[in-house]
Chains A and B, each alone.
Chain A
């Protein structure tokens, strides 16, 4: 009887051990770190709230947050509009539908680094394909990655291209759950295609839209690979994302205490944004 009682504990023990070692301990340790100065190789030094004071005076961190918000402001609407339009198109009975669905999803499974290096070539100022096309059309060249005002939008465009396939699939699932008889009733009333889209489709897939917003927000906040590989955070720190800055503090300068403080603050920020979004979803339901 006793053995029977022990078996469940034994079965969950590996997960509990993993959780304690790789989740709970790092979280608790990083909170402790926020009150210390530590460069890994020397002993930790208790510094009270100094890391928090520094955080609120750190112009680079403010800039990295602003950059991340700029990225989100471009990336999320762009991603939703494009994904929705493409999902709507791919939900129709068109030729080669299966091929297009697969083709749009392909960038999602390609390595982020590979995509980034490819787009770096396309964005080249003197040698890139995009500027060659612009010049052929009689337009001026754009400093996609070398002009501080263009660099973050360029990254947002690339990230949208890379991720849009995933959201097309989500929207497709949403679109296929809309009952067909709603459209049939609208047809009888003589509704146009756009009227059906705005009056039936959009309200019915609202939960999917919010899910896409939440996923894009969390994904967007973790912007790292693209600026790390393409621009290193430049030009003039215009693509320095919050995660890249936290990484630099931790693994370039070994400011582990400060890096943990930035990480904690940033995690709370994401949590707040997602909580607000969740409120909206619940309100909508």
Chain B
């Protein structure tokens, strides 16, 4: 009896273990699983879209869930790729990761789907399309939304210093910073408030909020990488390094980390920061009474001519090869990013769809009347860049970060030396 009981328990355990492991074959060919971002606004958007789609088509075909919680969504996607548990559609893919996944053969080449090319050319300008075209000639991602990085500034501080406009170029930025410092330094030499702030972390993605948008602004949107070589060993990168180095050298920017305490911008500790439109919801919710702020383009070299570009922080849509019905998935994506639903995205999330003619299209006009702070971002959206379609971008930005720290924060290298060394290491990276 006891033997039978043991055998029964052991068998039950094994069966339970086997049942707990899902298999790919469980996914039906007429069902699509969509993973959205896991912030509240985007979950609301995903719920709305899926609901609308299922109402208009056969019910229950699309299911969605927010990307599971983790240290970062990038990590979760990687884990899903490794475990072959990827969704069919994912809508929050950082552009810089796509090339690595495309090379690993886990993404569907979207340009092979019926109607894709016509759609993409009607939605996006040629610059956006070439930015997402892989070196192998295929397109593995759909440009969906952007959050351009701009200069957010405290209007009262800027006008209080006698400035009619926020600083637009390096000279004006330095002038304003010096003036602000003079007003906020005590007898012991303590600077109590700074004109600007950017995290001094060497973490690679931190450069999306200082060096990279400034580089794009200075260079009219020039690439960092071209033909598997560093394309930034030029005067623009040197100018950006020099500009930033000057800010830290003169204590216009704090060298210490201020991020662990209350919002330093809303509490008047800093007068400006480089950031994106996501700040609007936060600032409007938590700003003290009478606090007013605005956005303007990234500072540029004094002699700069032409439009001012910036980093758009693009998040794109991809389809994984685990998808058993790519055509159905594509139909759903096309529905999700049509004009009407792009407006919904704007209304629910305050994130800009990456489509041409955003400001001139009457469909979006009412939104911008209701949300005037978004106008600056919408105008800027004509002049944004994402990342270049090359692999190993994390390492590229890490190399730049290392040199950035040595030169900009600690002044151990000249801007020319630092930029040149970063370019040399990036070139070595692509030779390997």
A contacts, CB < 8 Å to B: 3, 6-7, 10, 39-42, 117, 120-121, 124-128, 135, 143, 145-146, 148, 232-237, 251-254
Contact = CB atoms under 8 A, between A and B. Distances in A.
B425 to A, nearest CB: 12
Contact of B81 (A10, A41, A125): A41
Contacts of A253: 392, 394-395, 398
Given A135-B190, A234-B201, A253-B394, 9 more contacts: A10-B10, A40-B81, A121-B260, A121-B261, A135-B188, A146-B255, A232-B202, A235-B410, A254-B78
Contacts, number: 76
A3 B201 contact: no
Nearest to A132: B190
Interface string B71-103: 000010010011000000000000000001101
A8 B275 CA distance: 62
Contact of A40 (B78, B203, B254, B405): B78
B398 A233 contact: no
Interface of B: 2-3, 6, 10, 75, 78, 81-82, 100-101, 103-104, 106, 188, 190-192, 200-204, 254-258, 260-261, 392, 394-395, 398, 402, 405-406, 409-410, 412
B101 A127 contact: no
A148 B410 contact: yes
Contacts of A117: 260
Given A235-B409, A235-B410, A253-B395, A42 B104 contact: yes
A41 B202 contact: no
A126 B398 contact: no
A252 B395 CA distance: 8
Contact of B78 (A41, A124, A235): A41
B190 A236 contact: no
A232 B402 CA distance: 12
Contacts of A235: 200, 405, 409-410
Contacts of B101: 41
Contact of A252 (B82, B192, B204): B204
Contacts of A251: 75
Nearest to B3: A3
Contact of A145 (B202, B256, B410, B412): B256
A146 B256 contact: yes
A41 B394 contact: no
A134 to B, nearest CB: 10
A17 to B, nearest CB: 10
A233 B405 CA distance: 11
Contact of B202 (A10, A39, A121, A234): A234
A253 B97 CA distance: 11
B260 A252 contact: no
A41 B260 contact: no
Contact of B405 (A3, A41, A236): A236
**Across chains A and B, which 4 residue pairs bring their CB atoms closest together, nearest first?**
A41-B104, A3-B3, A232-B201, A125-B256
Nearest to A124: B256
B409 to A, nearest CB: 7
A204 to B, nearest CB: 45
Given A3-B3, A117-B260, A121-B261, A40 B82 contact: yes
Contacts of B410: 148, 235-236
Nearest to A251: B75
B200 A234 contact: yes
A125 B255 contact: yes
B394 A252 contact: yes
A132 to B, nearest CB: 9
A41 B82 contact: yes
Most chain B C-beta atoms within 10 Å of own C-beta, residue among A41, A126, A128, A145: A126
B226 to A, nearest CB: 22
19 contacts: A39-B100, A40-B82, A42-B103, A117-B260, A121-B260, A125-B256, A126-B192, A126-B256, A146-B255, A233-B202, A234-B200, A234-B202, A234-B405, A235-B410, A236-B405, A236-B412, A252-B398, A253-B392, A253-B398
Contacts of A39: 100, 104
Given A41-B100, A252-B398, A253-B395, A3 B106 contact: no
Contacts of B3: 3
Nearest to A255: B395
Contacts of B10: 10
Contacts of A148: 410
Nearest to B82: A40
A236 B406 contact: yes
B400 to A, nearest CB: 14
A30 to B, nearest CB: 16
B256 A10 contact: no
Contacts of B406: 236
A123 to B, nearest CB: 8
Contacts of B188: 135
A3 B6 contact: yes
B6 to A, nearest CB: 6
B97 to A, nearest CB: 10
A135 B192 CA distance: 14
A237 B406 CA distance: 10
Contacts of B2: 3
Nearest to A125: B256
B103 A127 contact: no
A125 B190 CA distance: 9
B6 A41 contact: no
A169 to B, nearest CB: 30
Most chain A C-beta atoms within 10 Å of own C-beta, residue among B202, B406, B409: B202
Contacts of A128: 256
Nearest to A148: B410
B320 to A, nearest CB: 12
Contact of A41 (B106, B203, B204, B258): B106
Contacts of A3: 2-3, 6
A15 to B, nearest CB: 14
Nearest to A144: B256
A120 B409 CA distance: 18
Given A41-B101, A146-B255, A253-B398, A126 B6 contact: no
